Amino acid sequence: MTGRDGVVSAIDPAEASRAAAEAGLLLVSAEPLNCETLSPARPGGLLTPDGLFYLRNHFPIPVLDVGAWRLSVGGLVAKPLELSLDELTEMTTDTFVATLECAGNGRSLFSPAPAGDQWQLGAVSTAEWSGVRLDDVLDRAGVQAGATELVFRGADRGTVEESSEPIWFERSLSLQDARGSGALLAYSMNGEPLPVRHGAPLRLVVPAWYAVASVKWLTDIRLAGAPFDGYFQADHYMYERPRGGTVVREPVRMQQVRALITEPAAGQRLSCGRLTVRGVAWSGAAPIGRVEVSVADGAWHEASLVGESSTHGWQWWEHQAAAGRPGETTIRARATDLAGNQQPAQPEWNRLGYGGNFIHEVTVLLH
């Protein structure tokens, strides 16, 4: 990195794609690199290995000089800061497990097909994150009266359709949302230094929010007194739903409630008799209250929640079902969180295909 307004070196797209394929990720687009994980949750394991963690990028992956890198905290603060990674690691460390999900996860299931990369269901993963609480950094800087918005800038940069001039990837949170989210400035992932492909040397992790809020390769935090209207805030990552002859726009925020079947796999051949169905479920609004499973379009039966409930990560579940007649059989799963939100059979269509928390179903072959 040569400076905040200079050139930032980036990983060669071909090299990045090759490395992702070798790791076992499913390529969605090569440039920018976007990949799904084929196995977001391993049986009995809570965390997704960093090599199998899905990748969502809008621009080339930057590579920063950690020695020269600084986190700038400015704007409406009493004491502007320039913090090195060493200085951040000397502050109090916080650690939690959090599930990150791309807002476009499941986009390919909408009909008609919305614009954007056609994600299936692998744009979600869970990791243990360690770093400095955002609140602690804000307290050190001192928030001035009149500050209402935090703007986070990443080092990734590129052009978008609406502009030929390069722009930075920037997102914002209201001060109230940021303070209440438990957000972390993470420098560690699954107990190891944060990998470059996941935002090293520092990324924001905002638990329960769609991952667009968790800005990678973080370089700047700016406190402002007015709402931010950057491209990835006001133009993209908005629900645009046609209703009554008008288009209703709402910002993408919390993860929608969702259950995912991890076992059995689609197309798997199984013997008739007892059938074990397992998976994970999560929601940004509240912990998971229950998961229900239906086999062969039959009645919904409640599954057992396995292990402790996770505050920010997904919840394991399993169900023993009767698998009767030979032939193709469909298994469905749906989740309900403790706030009463239930996964819909058909989420409301929106132009960019966000929040597609369709009831998950897999078809297996019984013999």
> Domain ranges in the chain?
13-236, 258-366
Q: Which amino acid is at 152?
A: F
What number does CATH give the domain 258-366? 2.60.40.650
pLDDT over 50 at 217, yes or no: yes
Non-local (6+) Cβ contacts of 104 within 8 A are 116, 117, 119, 123, 352, 353, 354, 356
pLDDT on residue 162: 76
What pLDDT score does 43 carry? 64
**What topology is assigned to 13-236 in CATH?**
Sulfite Oxidase; Chain A, domain 2 (3.90.420)
Q: For Cα atoms 358, 211, 128, give the angle at the middle one, nearest 5 degrees.
A: 105
Q: What is the mean pLDDT of residues 231-239?
A: 95
- 149-160 and 34-37 strand pairing: unpaired
Between CA 179 and CA 361 the distance in angstroms is 37
Top pLDDT among 211 and 18 is at: 211
Q: How confident is the model at residue 45 (pLDDT cuts 50, 70, 90)?
A: confident
Min mean pLDDT across 126-140, 157-171, 177-191 is at 157-171
| For the chain, percent of residues with pLDDT exceeding 90 | 83
pLDDT tier, 325 (very low <50, low <70, confident <90, very high otherwise): confident
Q: Which residue shows structure tokens 């930032």?
A: 8
Average pLDDT score over residue span 286-296: 96
pLDDT (mean) for 204-224: 98
Q: Counting beta carbons within 10 angstroms of the beta carbon of residue 145, is it exposed (0 to 12), middle (13 to 18) or buried (19 or more)?
A: exposed
- Residue 367: the pLDDT is 86
